[in-house]
Amino acid sequence: MYLEIKDVRKSYGEGGSYSQVLKGIDLNVEKGEMCVIQGTSGSGKSTLLNLIGGLDAMDSGSVKIDGREIGGLGNKALSEYRRANLGFIFQFYNLIPNLTVKENIRVCEYLGNPPMDINELLNVLGLTEHMNKFPSQLSGGQQQRCAIARALIKNPKLLLCDEPTGALDSKTSRDILILLENVNRKYNTTMLMVTHNNSIKNMMDHIVVMKDGVIRKDYKNDNKIEASMLEDL
């Protein structure tokens, strides 16, 4: 099993402001799977993604990536873990405004061992003709493509996506999801996606539904469809 999560708990605050966000999460994700985590705001899905990404520390429990326990790692070891394993895609693109598309992507190129071929990546993501433009010259969809390319250039084993289509219109959302589907097929990249959009689950291999800090549903999708066939995005 590539990702193994056992009895993970996380809380914030003290006294009257104490809140238990995760209340004993168990989850296994296989290598190469596209897994979606759904749930309303406050269900704990983004917190879980942050724990897997080493961006926050769990109170207790275990998170293993490819057999390696990440709980309790120091800052240096966590940085190495993120460098060696992870790519992040967020709802907001966080591109560097005074760098071109190609330069924004190359910011993370040195982290890969080996990195993906940047020209191939530009071509796969439809960015070749935009590679010398600055973020302010791009549409929202083009900026998200650039953010995806930046996450992928280091050739991550696990891609963590937090509402990657949340700021996009329906057509652009579909285009981005088709791109992620193609990346998964081409590179066998394991993907974990947090989303409010109920339609996205239909293209996923593995569906997880969270509510009030626990997993309510966890099942494989036997009726998976192509991203191009998704409705109500």
Q: What are the tens digits of pLDDT across the range 46-84? A: 999 999 999 999 999 999 999 999 988 888 999 888 888
For the residues 175-198, what does the mean pLDDT come to?
Answer: 91
| Whole-number average pLDDT of the chain | 91
The single-letter DSSP state of residue 136 is G
For 46, the enclosing helix (H) or strand (E) is: helix 45-52
Q: Percent of the chain beyond pLDDT 90?
A: 63
Side-chain-facing half-sphere of 97: CA atoms under 13 Å: 1
What 3-state class would DSSP assign to 231?
A: coil
Q: Which residues contact 138 (CB under 8 A, 6 or more apart)?
A: 101, 130, 146
Domain 3-229: give its CATH architecture: 3-Layer(aba) Sandwich (3.40)
pLDDT reported for residue 154:
86
Which residue carries 């193609």 as its tokens?
A: 182
Q: What are the residue boundaries of the structural domains of the chain, listed by start?
A: 3-229
CA dihedral 197, 203, 207, 211 (to 10 degrees): 0
126 confidence band (pLDDT: 50, 70, 90) = confident
pLDDT score at 67: 92
Q: What percent of the chain has pLDDT over 70?
A: 100
Q: Let me know: does 112 contact 155? Beta carbons within 8 Å.
A: yes
Pairing of strands 60-65, 190-195: unpaired
